[in-house]
Each structure stands twice: as structure tokens, then as C-alpha cells.
Amino acid sequence: MKIATSAAILVLICFSCVATNKNHSKHESGSENRDYPFSKTTDEKVKKMLQEMTLREKIAQMIVANIIPENFSEGSADFKKAKRLCEDLKVGGFIFFKGSSSDYAALSNKLQSFSEVPLLISSDFERGTRMRVTDGALFPTNMAIGAADNPDLCYKMGKEIANETRLMGVHQNYSPVCDVNNNPKNPIINVRSFGEDPDLVSRMSVAMIKGLQDGKVIATAKHFPGHGDTDIDSHNDLPQLNFTMERMNTIELVPFKKAIENNVMSVMIAHLAFPELESSPNIPASLSPAIVQGLLIDKMGFNGLVVTDALNMKGITKYFSTSQVAVMCVNAGIDLILMPLDEVKSVNAIESAVLNNEISVERIDRSVEKILKAKQWLGLFENRNVNETDLYKSINTGEAGTIAQQIADESITLVKDDNNVLPFKKKDGDKTAIVIISEGGDVDNTSFLKSTAGEYFPGCSFYTATSSGMDPFLANNTGELASYDRVIIAIYAKIRYGTGKISISSSNVSLIQDINSINRNTVAVSLGNPYLLKEFPGIASYICAYGDSDFSITAALKAISGMVKFKGKLPISIDENHKTGTSILK
């Protein structure tokens, strides 16, 4: 057994020579994005289209409306509205939410048929298409990828996501998350981040960008200028970054700088306040000229697509009207106005501002030219449709599953093993108790654990505790867990949008402590938030799996039973004794 520590200095260099990566990257030669569209002069076709558009049509190209593809019906009010947005308002694109791959492809083709200019379709596939697509592939969380620290696997994951994305008629992925999660209380980023080390986050972000864009999908670095050190969910209110530019340049902005250097095609702006650059009260970065135009575009040299975070979030709607938001977006330097509460009002407001000389036509042209260039890069002027036949056969393939399992196997992190009991040695007649702590109800993947654990620990017994109580055995006979040869406590605790909650209930913390005192062969496995150790620091053995996907649960069981080695390293710091880059490797 040996203790692994991070290198004293991590020098991040370009992907053509990845000397600092623990795995030699295999994708350098094809990933320079030599056809990066925004560095080129305007194509004649784009120039002609721009000249032929009316002012209103140009403005509408900046609007990204939202729609749910799941079981869409052409007779529904939502579909009729989307059709009007395409034919009458002539919006530039849509963001898709829940649905199957066939739903996605069918709706994409249908909406494209209504639109004179090809639509730019986007979605949120941070860790795979199954984040939104019911039959898509799902990979381990970004923090698990950070724990594995294998850029080549991260690149392959991005390429697989891109393949599924394009097959379904989607062109822009709002990924990667470039936020540096150095605040354990962050209620919205957490395991969505690759970690707290800016260099680690940069390595993984660049690998993901390369994979996505080599697969001809627009990657989107988010949430600029950095959402990692916040303790407020911007879905609920407006977080504040009370930092100096010196601090931002050494932590939060580092991954975004590297993303820009590596030709990321899009950057998403967060709804959070940064008083150092924007002193006006309640003005989020997404509406701030000083942050979007001044910092991102002018100082950092980004010339790709700038997109807002969703404009239905309370960090925006609490302080400004729909019309105000639309005009402020354009004045800030935004190109893609994502999910405005009212698309027509937004276009009307911007058009009025142009006609009143508050916004120049040249400013509108700047954004629309970039949007058209992006659509040209995607090949949408030649072919905007996708093949709907037997699409499910090409989604969530065995190759995607292999990559996901490799990432998970390399991510499992042994943080503590005070009694040196891991991996558990098994013999015939052993008794294993698995205590499931689940406070998320159906959203927790407990059924997979129950169906799989027996393969690794035959005859194991299951007991469950929730935030509202525990099964009768745990409630009345906890002491009997001493008779088991080992106890595995599987803790499902992860971020949930809008709740501000990432911890577990005090009753379940007490339960974990009680079990630990009863049986020395107890291990707690966090299938989500890695910082939970701070709530029960006396636990003898603690493992981080960073998520509850099938692959992460399988990898945790494999490591606990000795089928694979513990290889992951903490991508974040839990406390003074368990810092980023450390773990127990055995």
C-alpha cells in the first residue's frame, strides 16, 4: 500500500505535447480544429444571407427557444408555438430537453422543415446524452473523470457524446463545465466540476472540447467567469463572486483561458454577480458589458459564440423584465439568447432599441455572422436533416459503455482505510450487510445496486434508511450488524437543482456513526457528493465514487471486492488530511 500525492507543480501545456498527463494522449494530430470558423473571413454565402435578411430576421437568429421532444404531438400547443416561432418569428434555434433519441430526431427534422435558415439545435449533455435522452449513453460525472485524470478517456467520451448528438439532430452541447469547484458548500456545481485544481479542470475541459468538436459538435465552456466558489444556486437567486481579478486569473479563469486557446467554439455566461468588474447592483455576468465584452471578448480574445445561461432562472427573472433582459444581452455582447421568457417580446425589444439608435445594426450583424458561420461549419446549409430509421441501434453502444466503465474503474478513490480492511477478503459463509442511505427517492439509482451487489457479495442483505426514517431492522436492531463480516454503507447524496441541498439528514449521519462503532469492517461509499466525510469524520473506511451511474456503482463494488485496484485520486480537498491529488492506492 502507498500514499499518492499530487505533483508539486503541474505545468499545463498544449495538447500537441502533453508531458504532464499521466496518460499519453492519442488524439493530438486530428484535434487542432484547423477549420475553426470564427478566425476566417466571411464566406460569400454567409455574407449574402446576412445582406438578404431583414433586421427582424437577424435579431430572431439570436433567439434560442426551448421545447420538450418527449412524445411531441403536432396538435399540441407547444408544437404549434414552435412552428410559429420557426415560420413567423424565424428564430435561430432551439434547446431540447427530455425525450427519446427518436423523439429528438423526429422533432429536429420537423422543425428544420419549417425554418428558412437551418436551425441550431442545442442540449445539455454534460455527462452523456442520457442526461436528457431516455435511451442515450450516460458516463460517470465530471468529478469522477477528474479523479481518473485520464485525458484520453475524456476525449473518447466527448467523441462518443458528439456522435450521438449529431445522429439525433443536435449540434451544440452545453459542455464542458469549466468551473473550479473549490467550495464544498456549492449547491449546484459539486460533482459537475472536474475538481478544484485549475490545471486538472483545464486538462479535462480541453480533452472534452477536442472530443466534441472533432465529432463536429459545438462545445460550450461554462459557466463563465466561474461558478465553482459559490454557495447559492443561481436557479434560485443571484450568487456573488467577491474576489479580485488577481484571484480570478489564478483560479476561476484558468480553464476558460485554456479552452479559448484550444478553440472552444462557445462560452456560456453565468447568472452571477462579479462586483470587481460590474459594480451596478444585481447585474449578473450574463448581462454585463464589462464582463462579456470587456473581459471575455476584448481581454481574453474570445471570438466564438457567447450564450447566456437559461434566462428563466431566478438570478435573472427576480430583477429584470423580459424586454430589459433582451436588450441588456445584446449590449453586453451576447450572441445567443437562451430560453427568454417570451421570444416575441425579446425580438420586439431589441428591434425597438435598434430603431431608436440604442443598438447599432453592426452590433446585430456581428452576432448573426457568427451564428451563420457556426451553422456553415456544422454543414447545415448542405444537409440539415438526420436519418430517423433504426436510430436506437446507434445510440448507447457497447463502445460507449466500455469507455464509461473504464473511466469509472479508474475513478474510485479510497480516501480512508484506518483498519486496513480493504479490499474485503471473502470466504464461504461470509455475511455482508449493505445499508442504503437514500434521500432522493426515485431519482437515486438504488435498484441497480440491489440487483448487482450479489454478484460481488453473494447472499448480501439490504437495509434502507431515508430522511424520513429507516426500515424496522435498522430502527430496532442496529446492534445486530456486529454479527456481519462486513458492512457497506452506500450513500446516495447529490446535487438537486433548486434545492440548495447536498448533505444528508442528521439522523442518517448518526446511523453511519453508530454502524461504524459496531463493526470495524465498515466502509462508507459516497455515490455522489465527496465532501460527506466532513459530516462523519470518525468513519474508519471511506470511498468516493462521485456518482450513482450503473458504471460507478459497478466500479465501486469491483474495487471493494478486490476485482480492480483503487486508482482514483481526490480531485478536491475534503479536509486538511485529505487534499486534492491524494488517495490510498492498493
| Dihedral angle of Cα 19, 20, 23, 29, to the nearest 10 degrees | -50
For the entire predicted model, the pTM comes to 0.92
Q: Measured between alpha carbons, how far is 440 from 131 in angstroms, rounded to an integer?
A: 17
Burial of 265 by CB count in 10 Å (0-12 exposed, 13-18 middle, 19+ buried)?
Answer: buried
**pLDDT tens-digit profile, the chain (586 residues):** 434 433 333 333 333 333 334 443 455 434 455 578 998 788 899 999 999 999 999 999 999 999 999 999 999 999 999 999 999 999 999 999 999 999 999 999 999 999 999 999 999 999 999 999 999 999 999 999 999 999 999 999 999 999 999 999 999 999 999 999 999 988 889 999 999 999 999 999 999 999 999 999 999 999 999 999 988 766 677 888 999 999 999 999 999 999 999 999 999 999 999 999 999 988 999 999 999 999 999 999 999 999 999 999 887 888 999 999 999 999 999 999 999 999 999 999 999 999 999 999 999 999 999 999 999 999 999 999 999 999 999 999 999 999 999 999 999 999 999 999 999 998 888 999 999 999 876 689 999 999 999 999 999 999 999 878 888 888 888 999 999 999 999 999 876 655 456 778 899 999 999 999 999 999 999 999 999 999 999 999 999 999 999 999 999 999 999 999 999 999 999 999 999 999 999 9
Write the DSSP symbol of residue 126: T
Handedness of CA 66, 69, 71, 77 (dihedral sign): positive
Minimal CA–CA distance to 467: which of 500, 506, 419? Answer: 506
What pLDDT was estimated at residue 198? 98
Which residue's C-alpha cell is 449493505? Answer: 434
For residue 44 the three cell numbers come to 460569400
Q: What own/partner pairs with CB < 8 Å and gap ≥ 24 does 321-326 have?
A: 322/346, 322/349, 323/348, 323/349, 324/349, 325/287, 326/350
For residue 247 the three cell numbers come to 484571484
Q: Measured between alpha carbons, how far is 94 from 23 in angstroms, rounded to an integer?
A: 38
- The strand pairing partners of 221, in sequence order, are 267
What pLDDT was estimated at residue 22? 41
For residue 120 the three cell numbers come to 441550431
CB 566 within 8 A of CB 414: yes
Q: Measured between alpha carbons, how far is 178 from 170 in angstroms, rounded to an integer?
A: 21
What pLDDT was estimated at residue 492? 94
- Residue 430 phi/psi, 5° resolution? -60, 150
Three-class DSSP category at 186: coil
Q: Measured between alpha carbons, how far is 74 from 83 in angstroms, rounded to an integer?
A: 9
Handedness of CA 553, 558, 561, 562 (dihedral sign): negative
Q: How many other C-beta atoms lie within 10 A of the C-beta of residue 396?
A: 21
Chain centroid offset of residue 98 CA: 16
Minimal CA–CA distance to 198: which of 10, 21, 328? Answer: 10
Q: Measured between alpha carbons, how far is 540 from 461 in angstroms, rounded to an integer?
A: 21
Q: What is the pLDDT of residues 468-506, one digit of tens each?
A: 888 888 888 899 999 999 999 999 987 665 545 677 889
CB-based contacts of 513: which residues, under 8 Å, 6+ apart? 536, 538, 539
Residue 13 Cα distances to 25, 156, 363, angstroms: 12, 20, 35
Q: Which domains does the chain have, with CATH numbers?
A: 43-394 (3.20.20.300), 412-585 (3.40.50.1700)
What pLDDT was estimated at residue 440? 75
Chain centroid offset of residue 175 CA: 6
| Dihedral angle of Cα 97, 99, 103, 104, to the nearest 10 degrees | 40
- The strand pairing partners of 410, in sequence order, are none
For residue 351 the three cell numbers come to 428591434
Q: Measured between alpha carbons, how far is 110 from 74 in angstroms, rounded to an integer?
A: 10
What pLDDT was estimated at residue 468? 81
Burial of 13 by CB count in 10 Å (0-12 exposed, 13-18 middle, 19+ buried)?
Answer: exposed
CB 143 within 8 A of CB 530: yes
Q: Measured between alpha carbons, how far is 325 from 319 in angstroms, rounded to an integer?
A: 9
> Is the bond preceding 530 in cis, omega lying within 30 degrees of 0?
no
| 376 sits in which H/E element | helix 361-377
Q: How many other C-beta atoms lie within 10 A of the C-beta of residue 171?
A: 25
Q: Measured between alpha carbons, how far is 534 from 536 in angstroms, rounded to an integer?
A: 6
Q: How many other C-beta atoms lie within 10 A of the C-beta of residue 130?
A: 19
Q: How many other C-beta atoms lie within 10 A of the C-beta of residue 39?
A: 12
Question: For the chain, what is the radius of gyration of the CA atoms?
Answer: 25
What pLDDT was estimated at residue 497? 52
Chain centroid offset of residue 455 CA: 31
What pLDDT was estimated at residue 526? 97
For residue 512 the three cell numbers come to 453511519
